[in-house]
Chains A and B, each alone.
Chain A
């Protein structure tokens, strides 16, 4: 029996069907040997590939115009420059490589915004593994460019028609595939969610973001930042950039770590406030995805965590203008860090995120993913962020252009460009 702790305080665990438990045990063993103990040089190969294929390290860039606007030093961790246009490749490449080391022959994954699906499709093509992606029907329609990318990289894309057709349904459906094919298939889960060891393992593939951020802030600014701001849906980019600023990471004994200094770094997880934080218990709808801010403890997709649910425990339909944040749960480690007061959960609504999308595009020349735009919208609030702030630019917004313009057209945003150039 593996010895790794499966929980983060009261959260985490392994709530999955018995059929999957042997695969979970096998994965736990592989995680301990290859990821934690670098057996057969696994982590060396991962670092080499994420460097050569992925383009790491990503830059830490001073945002001059935003720094002037907010009268503090705003730095951007440019995960949008990672191959594929988002942080997602760290985890996808790590897990597909791990699947190869484990002798698996097939990759499956779920995707919401399509960023994890495209990253997995790229990694699978790179490492020559067959790959199938499950994606909610609604997301297939919202994120067409990413569907094309997955198909072009050679992956199958299976639309999921059950329920509202978003990330929640895609995860459930991928788990069903895995329950059927578990003997030769690895499920590359796309965030720090699911049964142990997934939340810890996915964090460990993304923690390279925080490792680089610590080094770069010291080199470029002479010290660690006052605040780190990241958007949070499931929370993989969030834990990626937070990991080495918390004392729970098994890697936090890194040579440059300094726990006292780390405790002074404020960590803000920005959730999607959607159209409202109110819930409609009758219809089972929470028009937001703010499970850290407003959720309650429960069990979903293999883990105990904070959830959007009704009093019976039925999972609510979540909402966000950004598909990547549109999820009723959140990683169990983030739930614990919030309870421990180490991470501050905040949220911004759809309107503010869209406004920030346009502002950031115009002021910095970077079109952010709608997910990332939530982190920028938070800068507008009067939270005490200190002098030196790092924002994780979790992804670029090319995939969102259609959705962003459509949503912008529904609103009266002061800073949105018109599209009258198309008028006759």
Chain B
């Protein structure tokens, strides 16, 4: 079972999936930045709910999380943020398990999922939740019709891959390279071998970790991916805008234009 809005995002053409941390660097500015992603052609938005110990993130997103938390982001404010957000594409919440767990009760993580659904969230990516620990969240997502997206790493062997595919709904997040998130100058050839291994599985495959240009996007889609996930390259724009104290419109325009480039690259790769 998977969420129809997310299925639709992959239906006709490759999905472009940008990520930003909600509330970076402030609630109001971040609303504008996330809406710029949608204007730039986002098919799904991965919206980070910041956690103080983001062990899977490189320095770019760690700094975004610090800015967001310093700007007053909390779990409650995050749900308000999603409610206030004026976009017409599905939103996937990317966060760490402790925040989901603390919102829960004896029944497990269900209260978080229920609340997420009520504000319009369509799915989750939880980087520190491997298949081994995922059953309670998987069940809660099934109950509410939300997707739970698992990450496939270059180190994932075939046995684990089968298990991840059977647990995952919506799409699979293909980690393009070992390590943490962060924009890179080249696209890893680990990506191609991951995509080859996955060709026979009937679930959309979105590739992330390191993508920053339209050319990367084109190559990855041409290599067999169904979508691209881009985070750090976009967060860099906000970091710079924050550092130079630019008016919100400027980074927002840059975000929109980089999104257009990435989306165009993805479409070109699908030709």
Name A residues whose Cβ lies closer than 8 Å to a Cβ of B. Answer: 6, 13-23, 162-163, 168, 172, 175-176, 179-183, 284, 298-302, 304, 307, 309, 311-315
Select from chain A the residue with minimum beta-carbon distance to B99. Answer: A313
Residues of B within 8 A of A315 (CB): 52-53, 98
Given the contacts A180-B179, A315-B53, A21 and B130 also touching, CB distance less than 8 Å: yes
Q: How far is the CB of B88 from chain A (nearest CB, A)?
A: 29
Residues of A within 8 A of B178 (CB): 19, 179-183
Instruction: Tell me if B164 counts as interface (CB < 8 A to partner A).
Output: yes
For the complex with contacts A19-B175, A307-B98, 9 further pairs of A-B residues with Cβ separation under 8 Å are A17-B153, A19-B154, A19-B179, A21-B131, A23-B155, A176-B57, A180-B178, A183-B178, A314-B69
Given the contacts A180-B180, A301-B53, A314-B52, A17 and B102 also touching, CB distance less than 8 Å: no
Q: How far is the CB of B29 from chain A (nearest CB, A)?
A: 21
Task: Determine which of B51, B52, B101, B102 lies in contact with A311 in the assembled complex, contact meaning CB atoms within 8 Å.
Answer: B102
Residues of B within 8 A of A20 (CB): 155
Residues of B within 8 A of A19 (CB): 151, 153-156, 175, 178-179
B89-123 toward A: CB 8 Å interface, digit per residue (1/0)? 00000001111011100000000000000000000
Instruction: Tell me if B184 counts as interface (CB < 8 A to partner A).
Output: no
Given the contacts A18-B153, A179-B180, A314 and B51 also touching, CB distance less than 8 Å: yes
Select from chain A the residue with minimum beta-carbon distance to B209. Answer: A19
Considering the complex of A and B, which 8 residue pairs feature the smallest CB-CB distances, nearest first?
A: A313-B102, A180-B179, A19-B153, A299-B98, A313-B98, A314-B52, A22-B155, A313-B99
Task: Determine which of A22, A172, A298 lies in contact with B98 in the assembled complex, contact meaning CB atoms within 8 Å.
Answer: A298
Given the contacts A162-B62, A180-B179, A314-B51, A300 and B98 also touching, CB distance less than 8 Å: yes
Pair A15/B102 contact, Cβ less than 8 Å: no
| Most chain B beta-carbon contacts within 10 A, residue among A162, A179, A182 | A179
Select from chain A the residue with minimum beta-carbon distance to B173. Answer: A18
Considering the complex, which residues of chain B in the window 41-96 have a beta carbon less than 8 Å from any beta carbon of chain A? 51-59, 62, 66, 69, 74-76, 96
Residues of B within 8 A of A175 (CB): 55
Pair A16/B128 contact, Cβ less than 8 Å: yes
Pair A18/B52 contact, Cβ less than 8 Å: no
Select from chain A the residue with minimum beta-carbon distance to B78. Answer: A312
Pair B55/A312 contact, Cβ less than 8 Å: no
Name B residues whose Cβ lies closer than 8 Å to a Cβ of A. Answer: 51-59, 62, 66, 69, 74-76, 96-99, 101-103, 127-133, 150-157, 160, 164, 175, 178-180
Pair A313/B55 contact, Cβ less than 8 Å: no
Pair A313/B103 contact, Cβ less than 8 Å: yes
- Distance, CA A14 to CA B175, complexed state (A): 19
Select from chain A the residue with minimum beta-carbon distance to B96. Answer: A299
Q: How far is the CB of B109 from chain A (nearest CB, A)?
A: 11
Pair A22/B160 contact, Cβ less than 8 Å: yes
Residues of B within 8 A of A309 (CB): 98, 102
Task: Determine which of A17, A22, A284, A300 lies in contact with B56 in the assembled complex, contact meaning CB atoms within 8 Å.
Answer: A17
Pair A13/B133 contact, Cβ less than 8 Å: yes
- Distance, CA A182 to CA B190, complexed state (A): 15
Task: Determine which of A18, A176, A180 lies in contact with B55 in the assembled complex, contact meaning CB atoms within 8 Å.
Answer: A176
Task: Determine which of B66, B75, B98, B179 lies in contact with A179 in the assembled complex, contact meaning CB atoms within 8 Å.
Answer: B179
Residues of A within 8 A of B151 (CB): 17-19
- Distance, CA A19 to CA B150, complexed state (A): 11
| Most chain A beta-carbon contacts within 10 A, residue among B53, B54, B133, B180 | B53
Residues of A within 8 A of B56 (CB): 17, 176, 179
Q: How far is the CB of A213 from chain B (nearest CB, A)?
A: 35
Pair A312/B74 contact, Cβ less than 8 Å: yes
Select from chain B the residue with minimum beta-carbon distance to A176. Answer: B180
Residues of A within 8 A of B175 (CB): 18-19
Pair A18/B58 contact, Cβ less than 8 Å: no
Pair A312/B130 contact, Cβ less than 8 Å: no
Q: List 19 A-B contacts (CB under 8 A).
A: A16-B130, A18-B152, A19-B156, A20-B155, A21-B132, A21-B160, A172-B53, A176-B55, A176-B57, A180-B180, A284-B52, A299-B98, A301-B53, A301-B55, A304-B101, A309-B98, A313-B51, A313-B102, A314-B69
- Distance, CA A313 to CA B51, complexed state (A): 8
Select from chain A the residue with minimum beta-carbon distance to B164. Answer: A18
